[in-house]
Amino acid sequence: MEKEDFRISGKEVMAALKTSFPIMVTFLVLGSGYGILMEKHGFGPLWSVLSGIIIFSGTVQFVSIAMLGAGSFGIAALTALMVSARHAFFSISMIGRYRREGKRKWYLYYALCDETYAMLSSDRCPEGVNKSGYRLLVTLFDQSSWIIGSFLGGVIGTYLNFDSTGIDFSMTALFTTVFIQQWLDARNHIPAILGLGATLLCRIIFGNDIFLIPAMIIIIGTLTLARGKIEHEEVEEVYND
């Protein structure tokens, strides 16, 4: 199969910047907060950069700070695996779009975070722009802005002496906003209700420290088993409308 034409010109750069700019600004701010918190827990800027390259999941990175600070590396790794498992499903859904990307597709899969997926999954590319270069740049700009923000936050944190309590709530606020918007936009609320119910139940049963892992196991397992039924109901709703 012939590979998709790949080129990057000023047109691709400007189009990708226009698409990614809101996310880049958000990632710079949130990444800075993450870098500051990492520094306050004894991890310098380079650790924040390394985390952004290897993990690149804001949720996991914020959640794992306290675990890493307490030396619970095993729990942090397991939590990262469970929370980021959704990225595997994102990648699977993009196989068709990335099949002609050659070796670039491995980076596109690797750096596919929630926000990048939201921008690229619609497959709407600006007219007259090379799609392959556009995809690569959007993905690269998003990840780079998070890494740069994390590094700057780590540097700033070394010079500032203040109470950082509450900074970690920025990620909670972001995902609360995303959840509300997705609830308003989605036709089927079963996944959202399942997520809330499983998380609350596990929080009650397992306590504050380890509830996240069993909650993710329940959510992933249930959605995998009920995927066919959920997708069938969504198709019926669209057809009836």
DSSP string, 110-162: HT--HHHHHHHTT----TTS-HHHHHHHHHHHHHHHHHHHHHHHHHHHHH--S
My answer on whether 142 and 112 are in the same domain is yes
My answer on whether 139 and 198 are in the same domain is no
Q: Which of the residue ranges 19-33, 40-54, 91-105, 227-241 would you say has the lowest mean pLDDT? A: 227-241
Q: Distance (Å, rounded) from C-alpha 167 to C-alpha 173? A: 10
Q: Looking at the domain assignment, is residue 139 inside a domain?
A: yes
Q: Looking at the domain assignment, is residue 228 inside a domain?
A: yes
My answer on whether 26 and 121 are in the same domain is yes
What is the pTM for the complete model shown? 0.69
pLDDT beyond 70 at 143:
yes
Tell me which amino acid residue 196 is: L
My answer on whether 97 and 197 are in the same domain is no
pLDDT beyond 50 at 123:
yes
What does the H/E/C string look like for 208-240?
Answer: CCCCHHHHHHHHHHHHHHCHHHHHHHHHHHHHH
Best CA proximity match to 138, nearest among 11, 13, 1: 13
My answer on whether 66 and 140 are in the same domain is yes
C-alpha dist (Å) from residue 190 to 186, 187, 220: 10, 9, 13
DSSP state, residue 2: P
Mean pLDDT of 43-65: 84
87: CB partners within 8 A, 6+ apart:
57, 112, 113
Q: Looking at the domain assignment, is residue 177 inside a domain?
A: no
Last residue of a domain, one of 116, 132, 165: 165
My answer on whether 221 and 151 are in the same domain is no
My answer on whether 115 and 202 are in the same domain is no
Q: Distance (Å, rounded) from C-alpha 59 to C-alpha 178? A: 13
Asked if 60 and 84 touch (Cβ cutoff 8 Å), the reply is: yes
My answer on whether 96 and 207 are in the same domain is no
Give the pLDDT of residue 61.
Answer: 81
Q: Looking at the domain assignment, is residue 174 inside a domain?
A: no
Structural domain of 23: 10-165
Q: Looking at the domain assignment, is residue 36 inside a domain?
A: yes
Asked if 219 and 194 touch (Cβ cutoff 8 Å), the reply is: yes
Q: Distance (Å, rounded) from C-alpha 184 to C-alpha 186? A: 6
My answer on whether 154 and 221 are in the same domain is no
pLDDT beyond 80 at 82:
no
Q: Looking at the domain assignment, is residue 5 inside a domain?
A: no
My answer on whether 33 and 91 are in the same domain is yes
Q: Looking at the domain assignment, is residue 54 inside a domain?
A: yes
My answer on whether 19 and 103 are in the same domain is yes
Number of domains present in the structure of the chain: 2
For 196-220, what is each residue's pLDDT tens digit? 888 899 889 988 767 777 887 888 7
Mean pLDDT of 51-69: 79
My answer on whether 139 and 26 are in the same domain is yes
Show the CA angle centred on residue 36, arms to residues 31 and 40, nearest 5°: 145
User: Which residue has better confidence, 124 or 42?
Assistant: 42
User: Which residue has better confidence, 82 or 108?
Assistant: 108
Q: Distance (Å, rounded) from C-alpha 61 to C-alpha 51? A: 7
Q: Looking at the domain assignment, is residue 209 inside a domain?
A: yes
